[in-house]
Amino acid sequence: MTEAGANLPKGKQTVLGLYVTAREAYGQYQAAPDKLKIIDVRTPEEYMWTGHAPVAWKIPLVAVTYQWDADTKQFPVRPLPDFLARVQRIATPDDTLMVMCRSGGRGAMAVNLLAQAGFKKVYNIVDGMEGDAVEDPDSLFNGRRLKNGWKNAGCPWTYELTGDRLLLPGMPG
């Protein structure tokens, strides 16, 4: 379907080996919105603060712990045990799914979990919502996620969050 899988870092690779870019995923969604689902596995904080794709189902894979880890200098995340059950509310193992996170790593983890549960057509959106970071120490944009991704490809996104297509842990079915 794409050359997006060529030379992928190990953290973005999946057991299914199915990959698309954000631009390709949106193009395929536009061509057949009833034939595939886009799933955004980022946290609710990311949906609110960095924006989200209105066409995507928001089904977080992990939750932030809010306990500072001084060694890694970050807030660790923990897997959400009901992730698969929430996906199964909107999809079957025969559906085509395209999974997005910030830049492809958590998307790969979600694809692998879905594959273990019998889903067969699950693609990792390898550049995610925000894309990959610019790696040029001479650039003003060094370290900024401006290379690719949903937002940088011109795909529709918004900061406005509504309850539709939002499946958080503990939400009624």
- Tell me the pLDDT tens digit for each residue of 72-110: 999 999 999 999 999 999 999 999 999 999 998 999 999
Report which of residues 150 and 6 the model is more confident about: 150
Q: How many domains would you assign to the chain?
A: 1
Q: What is the pLDDT of residue 18?
A: 98
* Residue in 122, 123, 116, 26 with CA at minimum distance from that of residue 79: 116
Q: Report if residue 168 sits inside a domain.
A: no
Domain interval for residue 125: 10-152
Q: Report if residue 170 sits inside a domain.
A: no
Q: Report if residue 111 sits inside a domain.
A: yes
- The CATH number of residue 145's host domain is 3.40.250.10
- Tell me the pLDDT tens digit for each residue of 24-38: 999 999 999 999 999
Q: Report if residue 2 sits inside a domain.
A: no
Q: Report if residue 160 sits inside a domain.
A: no
* Residue in 168, 153, 151 with CA at minimum distance from that of residue 85: 168
Cα–Cα dist 50/171, whole Å: 23
Q: Report if residue 173 sits inside a domain.
A: no
- Tell me the pLDDT tens digit for each residue of 131-144: 887 787 888 777 67
pLDDT(117) > 70: yes
Q: Report if residue 159 sits inside a domain.
A: no
Q: Report if residue 71 sits inside a domain.
A: yes
